[in-house]
Structure 1
């Protein structure tokens, strides 16, 4: 008798950490609901790659800051999958600013960053809880992983609203853990400086130099990758059964050594 496949939802699943999480879950035997904001082509490419690994992957475009849209999307996911065993809250955005220049912040971008990163994480979680509880009722061990950031734990040059929103995600993770345990485990990951498009946009033409310097100062002598983050996410979702309300830093030991 074949083992029934598990079901996962990944927001922000088209690129970066989200894409790596979708592929890691597919390899682990999950079917995946992939939710994306505007990257339709990238979402389809990620879905195709996950399907090649044997997963059933369905995609939805949804603004996680829009609660009505979130509830519609989760209702459709429920119709398609019946229940959820795992939720990865990875959808995120940031704001433009000039470091140390508080006047350079556009408050509309501040509000949008919090709407996606914090309210969106809560709204998706709230709408997913009934589907996660169905997994529990069937003997499963449902779990949630939120994407925080090292800048939510210590200061850095990142835009203030982004850093503050990730600090809020850290607190939200712990508060959700208190509210959803013992039936649903909730944890978060806090990646350090990560290779790839996101940091390239943040650092611009300084990317190579600054990332090289960070790698040199890191005990494991490189910067984190999306695949590193996805590996930890998968472990938190499928193992580590007594880990709850924690934030796992993934930075190769940089924070611990500085």
Structure 2
């Protein structure tokens, strides 16, 4: 069995996932870097983790594919024999005006729910037997305030994150006390995701009226993921909002 703790961060090629991989490596973890399509960026994450002294398993896997998820966890078990923290960070969306109901096709629904809702469930189910025997046994789902207040990139995205929030509570009940399950719910994040549709100036204007008037950075969310994984032993089934006070 691997001597060091192991964290699997899905969607860790860029953004919040990469920041989480780096933070866990700083804490002495070995890291499973998962990606779906962004191989070049995932290799950059691997390099950054190794620079912090962590060993890396780099695994391509679309988390919406149950068989692929099971194969990924099987590889982790075969290589390292343990998994202590699972961060369900992989996500997708489409930017669609909420009033434009016809634009939300069945294909879009299936893809968003597949990655954002089914994917975390598949990962937890496949990894539960390893997480149960860890003295950490933590799952952190990267959700969104969109799942709380219904404001987000599309109706389907908001619905997927709302589902993820309630699933967090269901899984916390089902898997305790051995496994804790929590979610972090960010507001707008200054990352490549939002930069697809907003300029820096638009993002600054969007957040200017918040009590803390700035978007979060990937590192802000990684700090919260680290806290939910390592900084508390009694919190489970919680939705920790990190949004500068936007939804207060």
TM-score, L = length of structure 2: 0.96
The answer as to whether partners of 2:144 and 2:186 remain within 8 angstroms in 1 is yes
| 1:156-171 matches, cutoff 5 A | 156-171=151-166
- Looking at structure 1, the residues matched to 104 and 168 of structure 2 have their Cα atoms a distance apart, in angstroms, of 27
Q: CA deviation at 1:134?
A: 2.5
Q: CA deviation at 1:211?
A: 1.4
- Looking at structure 1, the residues matched to 117 and 232 of structure 2 have their Cα atoms a distance apart, in angstroms, of 25
- Looking at structure 2, the residues matched to 96 and 173 of structure 1 have their Cα atoms a distance apart, in angstroms, of 25
The answer as to whether partners of 1:95 and 1:110 remain within 8 angstroms in 2 is no
The answer as to whether partners of 1:219 and 1:254 remain within 8 angstroms in 2 is yes
| 1:226-237 matches, cutoff 5 A | 226-237=218-229
Q: CA deviation at 1:40?
A: 0.4
Relative to structure 2, which stretch is displaced further, 126-135 or 144-153?
A: 126-135
Q: CA deviation at 1:208?
A: 3.0
The answer as to whether partners of 1:188 and 1:248 remain within 8 angstroms in 2 is yes
Can you give the 5+ residue segments of structure 1 that lack an aligned partner in the other structure?
Answer: none
- Looking at structure 2, the residues matched to 92 and 181 of structure 1 have their Cα atoms a distance apart, in angstroms, of 25
Relative to structure 2, which stretch is displaced further, 156-165 or 46-55?
A: 156-165
SS in 1 for 2:208: helix
Q: Report what 2:57 is aligned to.
A: 58
Q: Report what 1:247 is aligned to.
A: 239
The answer as to whether partners of 1:34 and 1:59 remain within 8 angstroms in 2 is yes
Can you give the 5+ residue segments of structure 2 that lack an aligned partner in the other structure?
Answer: none
**1:196 has 2:191 as partner:** yes
TM-score, L = length of structure 1: 0.92
- Looking at structure 2, the residues matched to 142 and 54 of structure 1 have their Cα atoms a distance apart, in angstroms, of 22
Q: CA deviation at 1:76?
A: 0.6
Alpha-carbon RMSD across the aligned residues, in angstroms, is 1.4
Q: Across the two proteins, how many residue pairs are aligned to each other?
A: 247
- Looking at structure 2, the residues matched to 239 and 166 of structure 1 have their Cα atoms a distance apart, in angstroms, of 24
The answer as to whether partners of 2:97 and 2:153 remain within 8 angstroms in 1 is no
Q: CA deviation at 1:67?
A: 0.8
| 1:91-106 matches, cutoff 5 A | 91-106=90-105
Segments of 4+ moved more than 4 angstroms:
none
